[in-house]
Amino acid sequence: MSQAQRSKTTSLLSSQFINGVYIPSGLLILGVGIVKVEWLPFAIAVSLVLGTWKIYSAAPELAPVLEKVMATNALKPDVFQEFPLKEKTVLSHNVAIYRFSLQTPTQILGLPIGQHMSVAATLNVNGESKEVVRSYTPISSDENLGYFDLLIKSYPQGNISKHMGTLKLGDTMKVRGPKGAMVYAPGLVKRFGMIAGGTGITPMLQIIRAIVRGRPRNGGNDTTEVDLIFANVNYDDILLKEDLDALAKEDPHFRVFYVLNNPPEKWDGGVGFCTPEIIKAKLPPPSPDMKLLLCGPPPMISAMKKATDSLGYEKPRPVSKLADQVFCF
């Protein structure tokens, strides 16, 4: 079979599916609607089941496409829902990736790239039972069916993060979303500069993966340039370094520069704090077609706001908006 024939056979818009699935399904629904409108829901259901079965049978390779087309969103913006812990991958003594199951194996979380969600739990705080809510960005995406992953660093003084470390498989967490002013789409800017500290890498990684996934070589149209400064205290604190290095190796338009307070011997990255000099050397200069994204501990973000202001970037607002040149998660 030639490449052209194979493409025609495996396309959802090929003639075999138009003539063998879509037209018969449409005629069935139309006919039932004319004869007895009360039966329309059953006709639609039968058409969906039989049509999906025929496509699966004729072209099994289209199964992932069909699953994504038919997938429903798990998140609800105004209602907390409980999701059970499915897996826990320990990365260090206080860092782990928590995988939570969605309601069905073919469901997607329904979180636009750049946004985050609220995670809640009822905890004992100073002797009182209170519902504590924190915002988190998954490191998974809607490309992943049936689950979502949270990268959590548990702090002794933390509430949700500390509670997360005590979860056993099958335990649930309450989640609501999506929320946030950042919604990424290809063409939003020509260049991103990113500064992350600690677990502040999660929204950056979500956007970076979406950009790399959408490159022309992967069938997309995303040509956004990305430069990331990732600051941490010690080498062992660098979260998901292997993932970031693999992305940088795969994609020449993504570059990452690490900064450590306490670097090991033969360290070729930055040393100390993320200074205005490092920002000027590693990130794109201020311009109308770029954005600077910041995420990390509050003291770090406060220092980065002052540093970027001194370099001529627009002064960030107390609450960032999508149109801002400097956006703080």
* Catalytic annotation, residues: 116, 136-137, 295
**Cα 244 from Cα 228, distance rounded (Å):** 10
Query: Parallel, antiparallel, or unpaired: how do β-strands 191-197 and 128-136 relate?
Result: unpaired
Task: Enumerate the β-bridge partners of residue 85.
Answer: 100
Q: 10 a known binding residue?
A: no
Q: 275 a known binding residue?
A: no
Q: 15 a known binding residue?
A: no
- Nearest residue to 173 via CA among 96, 117, 110, 119: 119
- The dihedral built from the CA positions of residue 212, 215, 221 and 225, taken in this order, carries a sign that is positive
* Integer Rg of the chain from CA: 24
Q: 134 a known binding residue?
A: yes
Q: 153 a known binding residue?
A: yes
Q: 136 a known binding residue?
A: yes
All residues at 6 or more sequence positions from 184 whose CB lies less than 8 Å from its CB, including other chains: 112, 113, 114, 207, 210, 211
Neighbours of 26 (CB within 10 A): 11
**Cα 83 from Cα 138, distance rounded (Å):** 14
SS3 state of residue 157:
coil
DSSP, res 200: G
Which parts of the chain are beta strand (E)?
Answer: 81-90, 95-101, 116-125, 128-136, 147-153, 172-179, 191-197, 225-234, 254-262, 270-271, 290-295, 326-328
**H-helix or E-strand spanning residue 69:** helix 63-70
Residue list, annotated binding site for FAD: 134, 136, 151, 153, 160-161, 202
Residue list, annotated binding site: 134, 136, 151, 153, 160-161, 202
